[in-house]
Structure 1
C-alpha cells in the first residue's frame, strides 16, 4: 500500500532567531543610544545658548556700569574733590568704558540669538557714541545719551529673558524625547531608571541654572553698588506714593538725612514749599507713562538758594524695581552761575545799572502797557556828562570809571522806585519814567537830576565838579517804537549841548531836522578838501592912524555845492568833531603862507606885511604842530616874523603848560601869537602874562557898541591900556562904521 508524505514544517521567520533578536535588540539599543546622544547634544546646545544669553546680559551690565561711571565723572564730577582727582577719574572712567567695549567686540560681538545680538550691538554702539562725545568735550550730551540708553537696556534685558525662556523650553522638550525613546527601547525597567536619571539631571541642571543666574546678578550688583555708593548724585527708588524705598548715601549731603532716615519718607519733602506742587505734578506725569523718563529742576527745602536736577524714570512695571527711579543732582553752583550770567547780560558791569538791552526791553513793555491803558504817558531822559573826555584825559580812566559809579548812584537816588536808570555806554545814561503825568513832571525830574549832578563829587580824595546835558522826550505810545523814543531823547540831549550844555531840553520836531541837517553837513564835509571846495579869503589889517595896510588875515570859506558860500561858523565845529580840521587847517596855513610870500615878491610895498592864520584848539593838541608850521614856512619861503598864529582863549584852559610849550616852539621860528576874541571867554591878567602872546585882538562884539555904549568904550580902553602896559599890539575886529574908527583912533588903538 502506498504511504502518504507528511507536509513540510513552517519555519520561523529569520528575525525570530535569537541571533537576529540579539542583533535587532542591539540595533534598537544602538539607535536608542544614538537618539539619546543626539537629543542630549541638542539639549546641551540649548543650555549653552542659555548660558551664552546670561553671559551677554552680564556683558550688558558691564557696559552700563562703565557708561554710568564715565558719564557721571565727565559731566557731573562730585563737588569738593581736588581738580587732579577729578581729571584722573575722568580719564580712568573713559579708559574703563573703552576696555569694556573692546572686550565685548573681541569676545561677544555676533554671538547669541538674533534678537539679543541686535539689541546688544545697538547698546554697545550707543556707548561707543557716548565715549566719542566725552572725548569731544560734549559730556552733557553723553550723560543724556546714558539716560536715554536705560530704555534700550530694558529692551535688551527683556529680549534676553525671552531667549532664555525659549532655550530652556526647547532643552526640556529635547530631554523629554530622550526619555520617551529610552522608555520605548529599554522596557519598563530601563524606563524607571531612565526616569530617575532624567529627573535627577533636570533637577541638577535647574539648580545649576539658578546658581548661574544668581552669580550673574551677584557680579552685576558687585559692579554697580560701588558706583551708586560713591556717586555724588542721589540714586533713589520711590514707590507709587512717592515714598523712598531706597536712597544712596549722597542724600546726606543733599537733604541732611541718612539713607535709613529717608526710607518711608515722601520725596516731595526735598522740595521747597513753593516748588512742591510743580514737583508733584512732574512725578505724577512720569508715573502715568510706563518706561518714561523726564527731568526737572527743583528748589530744595534745605539751605538757601539750593537747587537740584531730578531725572525720573518709570520702572513700576519692572518686577526687579517696581518703582520710580530718581537721579538727583545738586546744581546750586550752576544755578548761581546762571543767575550771575543773567545779571551780567542785562546790567552794566561798571555801575550795576540796567544796560541798553534791559532798558530797551523795559521801554518796549512800558509802551505796550501805555497802549493798553489808553496811551498813558511814558517819558525818557537821555543824559550825557559834559566834557567827560577831559576827566579821562586829565585824571585817568580809572578815576573816570569811579566818577561814573558815583554819577550812577546819584542818578538812582533821584528817581522813584518804579523808574529805570540805565547806562547806555561811555558817559551816557538814560531814565525811563513810567506813568509820567506830563512834560512838566518829566522836566522837573530832569532838573532834579541836573541839580544832583552839579553838586561836587568826592572821588579818590578829590573834589570834582561836573555838569550834564539832559534830553527829555514824552513818548506817543500809539505811534512810536522804543528805538524812536530813545533816538528823539538823544536828539534833545544833543540840542541841549548845542545851546550851552548843563541844561534840560525837551524834544521838539525841529531838533530832528536840525540834526539831519548837521549829519548831512558832516557827510558833505567828508571829501570836501579833496573836491577843492574850500577857498581862502584875505581880510586886510590896517594901521588905524594912516589907514595903510599892515597885513592880512586868512579867512576860510566853504563853497558848498548846494548851499553856496558858508561862513566858518557853519562848519568849523563839525570839522573839529570829524577831525577834518587837521587837514583843513594845514591847507589854510600852507595857502596863506604861499600867498603872503607871493605878494612880498611881486609888490615891493607889501614886502613887510604880515599874514594871520586862525588855529583851532584841535590843531594845537597835535604834538607835531610846531613842525607843521615850520614846514609851511619852509615850503613857502616866508619868514617866520611875517606869520601870525591866532588862537582863542579857550585853547589855553585844558592844559596850560603844554599849550605854553607849543607857543614857545612856534615863537622860536619867529612866528608871533595873537589872542583872538579877547574879552569874551576866560580872560585874565594871569593868562596874558603867563603865555607867550604878542597881540591882543578885541572882539567885534565890543566894537559894535563902541560908539553907543559907555561900558563897551571903557572895556575897549582897558584892553588897549593893558596891551600898551604889557608891550602888546592891539587889533580891533569888525570895524564897519566911521564912528567906530574915529572912536578907536581916539582911544589910541593901533590896528584894526
Structure 2
C-alpha cells in the first residue's frame, strides 16, 4: 500500500510497462500533469500508438532495451505532449518480476530549459541512433511531399518485399504513394499530412513487390520548416496482415452466427437487468412483435401475470447466490392477448465487461395444449362432455376431506340411473341411445350446472355432487328437480322418446372413508328406488346398509360356491297332458348354502345376472345336465326317449364357444342331439341380435332342440320370431295361474296354442297346479305341461325313482 502511495505521490514522471509487448500498465499523477495525457488515454496502449516518443531511432533503442531486459540510465529523448509540444529529457529504465511477467518501470526526467535532447557522448555513442534505425523491426521511412522516398530502413524494404532499401528506393523511390492498393486512400493520407494532421495507427492495404496485398498500420506526420513549408514526411509501418485476417475471420464467424441466430426457429434474447437488449426474429414473431419492439422492454411486460411471481423468485435466488436451474417453463402473452407457453434456457454471460443474461425460448404451446386435451379426455366423458367417474371421485374425495376437517359431513351424492334405457338401445339402436344420453346431459347442465357437479358415471348412470353444504332437504329438492326434467319427451332422431330416472341419495356420514363407500350406498338406494316403482328417489338409511352388507356377503359366497361345489341340479318332470306320460325334464339349479341351507333361483339368480356370473352358472348347469342325462341313458335303457331342457342366458348364447361346447358335450356323453333342448328367452332373437341368431342356426344344424321360454311376456315382433329356428314354445305361468277365472288370459292361451299349431311348434305350459288347469289346457290343445300338479323339481335320485316307476306322478 505504501509503494502504491509513493508511486502516485512522486513528483517524477513514472510509467509502468509490460515487458513482453511494451503496453502501458499504469502512470502516476506527475505523468498526467507533465504530458497532458489522462491515464485512461494511456493505459492499455503502446507508446507508439500515443506518439509519446516521436523519434524512430529512440523507439528502436527502447525496444532493444526491453527485449534484452537491459537496465538503462539517462537515455536522451524527446517526449511528445498531448498539446503537440516536444519536451526534452532523459529516460531511466528498471526491470522487475510480477509472477511470471516482466514489468518495466520508466522514470522520465524532463528538462524544461532545453529545446532539444542533449547528446551525451559518455552515455550514447556516435552513430547510435542510426544503428537503431537500421535494426528496428518496424518499417521506417522519410518521403518528400512530391511523392518520392528519401530514406527507408531495412525493415521497410522487407515489409514491401524488397531485398534491401536500395532496391526499394530504385524501384519506387520516385513514387511512394504507389505502395497503396487504393490510390484514393493514398491521396487522402497525403492531403491530411499536408494539412498538418498526425496519423496514428492508420490502416491501409499496400502491395508488395511480388504483387501480394498486405495490411499495414501506419504512423506518420509532416515535418515543417521555419517558414511553415513541408520539408518531408516521416513515418513507420507495421505488418498487421495476420491481425487483420484474424479480425476478419472473427467478423465472418460473428456474421455467420448472427445469421444463424437471426434465422433460427428458436427464440434468442439478451437481457441487461430485467430488460431485453436483443431479440431475434423468431422470438419476436413468437409474440407477434418486431425485434425492435422487444428491445428495451422489461420481461414483466410480456409475461403472464400469474407467471411473474415464479420469475421473481428465480431472480431473487440468483442474486442471493443460490443455485437456479437454467431451464424452466413459463407463460408469455402474445401481442393479441393469447397465452404462449414457452420453455426458457437462460444463463449469465459477460459482454463488454458487464454481466448480461442470454438464453433461448422454445414455443411449447401446442405440446401443452395437447397435454391439456389429454388431461381433459382423461377426466371427461367423450360422448356427453361431462366429467367422468375419475374426476367425480376426485371431487368427492376433496369434499369428504374438507368435511372431515370441519367435523361436519355436510355433503351429499345423488346417483341417477335411467329407467328402461336398455329398451331404447334394443328397439331404436345404440346410436339413438347415445343421442338420448347427450340430451339428458344437456338438460341436467341447463338446470343444475351452476351449483352441482354433474358426471356421467358409466352407461346410463349419472352422479351429482352439490357444491358447498348439502343436507337431506337440499338433496331431496335436487332429486325432485332431476325427476321433473324427465316429464317432457326427448327428441331422438325425429322421434319423441319418454324416459324416466331413479335416484339414490346419500347424505355424508363420519363413517365414510372413501368415495367408493359413498357411491356404493348411493347405488343401493337407487336400486331401492327402482324396486319401489321407478321414477322416484330414495335416501339411503342404515337398514339399506345392512342389506348391502348382506348382499355383499352373498356375492362373496356365490363366487366361492363354484370352488366349494355347492350348486345342485333338481329336475322337474315335463308331462304329456293327454296321456300323463313323463317325456322330459327341465334342469333347475339350486344352491346348498353352508349357513342358509337350500336356496332357490329366486334367492340368487338376480345377483348372478347383475354380476355377470350367470354365464359361468349356466355353463355349469349345461355340463351337469348333460352328464346326468348321459348317465341315466347308459344305466337305464328305458330312459332313452327322455329329453333334457336346459336354460341358456342371452349372454351365454352370444358366446363364440357355445356351439362347440354343446357339440363336445353331446359327443362325450353319447347324447342324441334331439334329446337336448335349450331354452332361451325372447330377447335372444330381437332386432339387432345378429350374433345370437347365428348361434341359434348353428345349434339347429347340430340337431339340438330350441325352445322359447316365457313366450308371450316379451316384446318381440311375430315377424322376427317366425324367421327364427325354434322347435317349441313354453307359456309363462302368469297366463296359467288364473286361466279359469281370467278370460283375457284364456284368450291369450288360445292364441298362443293356435300360433304354435300353425307353425308346427310343440307347446308346453308352465306352472300347472290344479287338475282343472290341466283339463282346460288339454281342451284348448296344449300338448305338454309341468308344474306342482305333477311334481316339484326333484334331486337326481328322487327324479330317477319317477323314471324307474317306483314313484308315481300325480295328475
> How much has 1:590 moved relative to structure 2?
1.1
Equivalent position of 2:732 in the other structure: 699
Equivalent position of 1:119 in the other structure: none
Cα distance in 2 between the residues matched to 1:296 and 1:669: 69
1:583 and 2:619 correspond:
yes
Alpha carbons of structure 1 residues 456 and 298: separation in structure 2 relative to 1, 3 Å:
same
Equivalent position of 1:327 in the other structure: 359
Cα distance in 2 between the residues matched to 1:403 and 1:662: 31
Alpha carbons of structure 1 residues 291 and 223: separation in structure 2 relative to 1, 3 Å:
farther
Alpha carbons of structure 1 residues 542 and 291: separation in structure 2 relative to 1, 3 Å:
closer
Partner of residue 516 from structure 1, selected from 541, 549, 552: 552
Equivalences for residues 6-155 of structure 1 within 5 A: none
Cα distance in 2 between the residues matched to 1:454 and 1:191: 128
Equivalent position of 2:154 in the other structure: none
Equivalent position of 2:102 in the other structure: 172
Highest CA radius of gyration, 1 or 2? Answer: 2
Partner of residue 555 from structure 1, selected from 588, 594, 600: 588
Equivalent position of 1:188 in the other structure: 123
Alpha carbons of structure 1 residues 619 and 487: separation in structure 2 relative to 1, 3 Å:
closer
1:715 and 2:745 correspond:
yes
Aligned length: 572
Alpha carbons of structure 1 residues 716 and 581: separation in structure 2 relative to 1, 3 Å:
farther
> How much has 1:329 moved relative to structure 2?
2.0
> How much has 1:512 moved relative to structure 2?
2.5
Equivalent position of 2:398 in the other structure: 365
Higher RCO (C-alpha 8 Å, min separation 6): 1
> How much has 1:520 moved relative to structure 2?
0.9
Alpha carbons of structure 1 residues 201 and 635: separation in structure 2 relative to 1, 3 Å:
closer
Equivalent position of 2:600 in the other structure: 567
Alpha carbons of structure 1 residues 192 and 310: separation in structure 2 relative to 1, 3 Å:
farther
Deviations 1:689-724 (A, max 9, x none): 6656665544334544557xx32x651464146415
1:306 and 2:357 correspond:
no
Equivalent position SS for 2:448: coil
Q: Gapped runs of 5+ residues in structure 1? A: 1-41, 48-165, 178-185
TM-score (structure 2 length as normaliser):
0.56
> How much has 1:350 moved relative to structure 2?
4.9
Checking the alignment, whether the CA contact within 8 Å between 1:597 and 1:636 is kept in structure 2 is no
Partner of residue 270 from structure 1, selected from 302, 310, 335: 302
Cα distance in 2 between the residues matched to 1:675 and 1:296: 67
Equivalent position of 2:450 in the other structure: 417
Cα distance in 2 between the residues matched to 1:259 and 1:292: 28
Equivalent position SS for 1:172: strand
Equivalences for residues 638-649 of structure 1 within 5 A: 644-649=677-682
Q: Gapped runs of 5+ residues in structure 2? A: 1-17, 24-95, 108-120, 141-200, 202-216, 218-237, 787-811
Equivalent position SS for 1:476: coil
Equivalent position of 2:380 in the other structure: 347
Equivalent position SS for 1:354: coil
1:537 and 2:567 correspond:
no
Checking the alignment, whether the CA contact within 8 Å between 2:302 and 2:333 is kept in structure 1 is yes
1:481 and 2:510 correspond:
no
Cα distance in 1 between the residues matched to 2:323 and 2:722: 94
> How much has 1:509 moved relative to structure 2?
0.8
Equivalent position of 1:227 in the other structure: 257
> How much has 1:385 moved relative to structure 2?
6.1
Cα distance in 1 between the residues matched to 2:727 and 2:269: 93
Cα distance in 1 between the residues matched to 2:418 and 2:534: 9
> How much has 1:281 moved relative to structure 2?
6.7
Equivalent position SS for 1:343: helix
Equivalent position SS for 2:589: strand
> How much has 1:557 moved relative to structure 2?
2.5
Checking the alignment, whether the CA contact within 8 Å between 1:723 and 1:729 is kept in structure 2 is no
Alpha carbons of structure 1 residues 244 and 213: separation in structure 2 relative to 1, 3 Å:
farther
Partner of residue 381 from structure 1, selected from 395, 406, 414: 414
Alpha carbons of structure 1 residues 193 and 377: separation in structure 2 relative to 1, 3 Å:
farther
Alpha carbons of structure 1 residues 289 and 731: separation in structure 2 relative to 1, 3 Å:
closer
Checking the alignment, whether the CA contact within 8 Å between 2:630 and 2:671 is kept in structure 1 is yes
Equivalent position of 1:432 in the other structure: 465
Cα distance in 1 between the residues matched to 2:568 and 2:97: 106
> How much has 1:353 moved relative to structure 2?
2.8
Equivalent position SS for 1:365: helix
> How much has 1:452 moved relative to structure 2?
5.4
> Which structure's residues are more often strand, by fraction?
2
Equivalent position SS for 2:339: coil
Cα distance in 2 between the residues matched to 1:476 and 1:738: 57
Checking the alignment, whether the CA contact within 8 Å between 2:383 and 2:434 is kept in structure 1 is yes
> How much has 1:627 moved relative to structure 2?
6.2
> How much has 1:365 moved relative to structure 2?
2.1
> Which structure's residues are more often helix, by fraction?
1
Cα distance in 1 between the residues matched to 2:322 and 2:691: 83
Alpha carbons of structure 1 residues 200 and 371: separation in structure 2 relative to 1, 3 Å:
farther
> How much has 1:302 moved relative to structure 2?
1.7
Checking the alignment, whether the CA contact within 8 Å between 2:424 and 2:433 is kept in structure 1 is yes
Checking the alignment, whether the CA contact within 8 Å between 2:622 and 2:646 is kept in structure 1 is no
589-598 vs 497-506, which moves further: 497-506
Checking the alignment, whether the CA contact within 8 Å between 1:364 and 1:481 is kept in structure 2 is yes
Checking the alignment, whether the CA contact within 8 Å between 2:705 and 2:727 is kept in structure 1 is yes
> How much has 1:367 moved relative to structure 2?
2.2
TM-score (structure 1 length as normaliser):
0.59
Cα distance in 2 between the residues matched to 1:656 and 1:284: 70
Deviations 1:454-489 (A, max 9, x none): 976666778777776654322226743334323433
Q: CA RMSD in A?
A: 5.5
Equivalent position of 1:597 in the other structure: 633
Equivalent position SS for 2:753: helix
Cα distance in 2 between the residues matched to 1:286 and 1:243: 16
> How much has 1:305 moved relative to structure 2?
1.5
Equivalent position of 2:709 in the other structure: 676
Cα distance in 2 between the residues matched to 1:666 and 1:281: 75
Checking the alignment, whether the CA contact within 8 Å between 1:472 and 1:504 is kept in structure 2 is yes
Equivalent position SS for 2:587: strand
Equivalences for residues 607-622 of structure 1 within 5 A: 610-622=643-655
Alpha carbons of structure 1 residues 592 and 296: separation in structure 2 relative to 1, 3 Å:
closer
Checking the alignment, whether the CA contact within 8 Å between 1:353 and 1:421 is kept in structure 2 is yes
Cα distance in 2 between the residues matched to 1:460 and 1:684: 22
